Amino acid sequence: MNVSLALAAVDLRGAATILMIVIVAGAIAYFGDRVGHIVGRRRMTLFNLRPKYTSTIFAVGFGMLIAIVVVTFFLVISSEVRQAVFSIDKLDTQIAELSAQRDMLLGAPIIFRAGDAITQPFIVKSTDPLPVIERELGDLFVALARVSQTLPVQPYPKNPLTGPAQASIQAAALGIKSQAPLDAIVVPEATENIIRGGALRIGLRVYPNKLLYRKGETIASVGVANGQDRDEDRTALVQLIANIKLGAISHEMPPTIAENPITSLDAIDSSLAALTSSHGPTVVRAVAANDIYAVGPLTANLVVAPANVP
């Protein structure tokens, strides 16, 4: 709706501009015609020329005056017109540069998307003094900057601890300290989409290493309407694995850790066999194999039971 209104505003503005041009040009043409009639009737002369030549000069002069007045009028009232008249070369250059940047962004492959982990997470003790935490994060950032030299991106400067980097480190250190007495999980991640040949922007996301699930607690579950349908059973198990990841992430497990839940192939095979032999609605639950903390591992056992059994 907002886009439609914006387009309508642009269209009306253009129509109003054209209407004003027509009105101004018409007014000047009218006065030019009246002056031409007066000159013709009075057989006035200019520079001792014959009246018909004088009349022609007046007609041409008023035509030129129309153009001058209209252009001057719109140069005065419109910054867009001034820019188009006096800065057209600059605009063409800017358009060409922006088009080239667009083509590069569309054609360049993305190395990291915003929020993607650049390396594996690190554990940092929140009980350490704040200067110690900042120094540890600084060493980590320098190591990450060196790793970036092996990637198809712009290398960090010789001293990667720039002002913005130090500000990010200080903020992360305060976030770690606020987790005390729990240890903190630090995940180096891309703060924006990183394309091949582009600059690598590193951020430090902090998670508390808290207890997420106690042993035997349900992490996720999925229902199956009829266990006799083997394709439906497989689909349900795939959905269950996806729900395990989403459930862990919603409990503040870093996505890079939740991405790889551990469930043995034997457990999946036995669950599939149990589903196939079941009758009526069935529920498959993923339960924590042990106490699971945010640092992982995300290990689950699968339990198959009729839907009406808790």
pLDDT, tens digit, 9 for 90 and up, residues 262-305: 877 677 778 877 777 777 788 888 999 999 999 999 999 888 88
| Mean per-residue pLDDT over the chain, rounded | 79
The mean per-residue pLDDT over the stretch 234-256 comes to 91
Q: Which of 267, 233, 262, 270 is nearest to 245 (CA)?
A: 262
pLDDT of residue 187: 92
With a cut of 90, say whether residue 130 has pLDDT above it. yes
- Which residue, 199, 197, 247, 200, is CA-closest to 221? 247
Residues 12-70: tens digit of each pLDDT: 566 676 777 777 777 766 766 666 666 666 666 656 666 666 667 766 777 777 777 77
The share of the chain scoring above pLDDT 90, in percent, equals 25
Element (H, E) at 143: helix 130-147
What is the rounded CA–CA span in Å between residue 298 and residue 280?
30
Mean pLDDT in residue range 168-192: 91
pLDDT digits (tens, 9 = 90+) for 89-129: 776 777 777 777 666 655 568 888 888 888 889 999 999 99
Please give the Cα distance from 79 to 87 (Å, whole number).
Answer: 11
Given this model, what pLDDT does residue 250 score? 93
In this prediction the pTM is 0.61
Position 6 scores a pLDDT of 38
Cα–Cα distance for residue pair 74/82, rounded to 1 Å: 8
190/308: higher pLDDT: 190
Quote the pLDDT of residue 10.
Answer: 44
Q: What is the DSSP letter of 254?
A: -
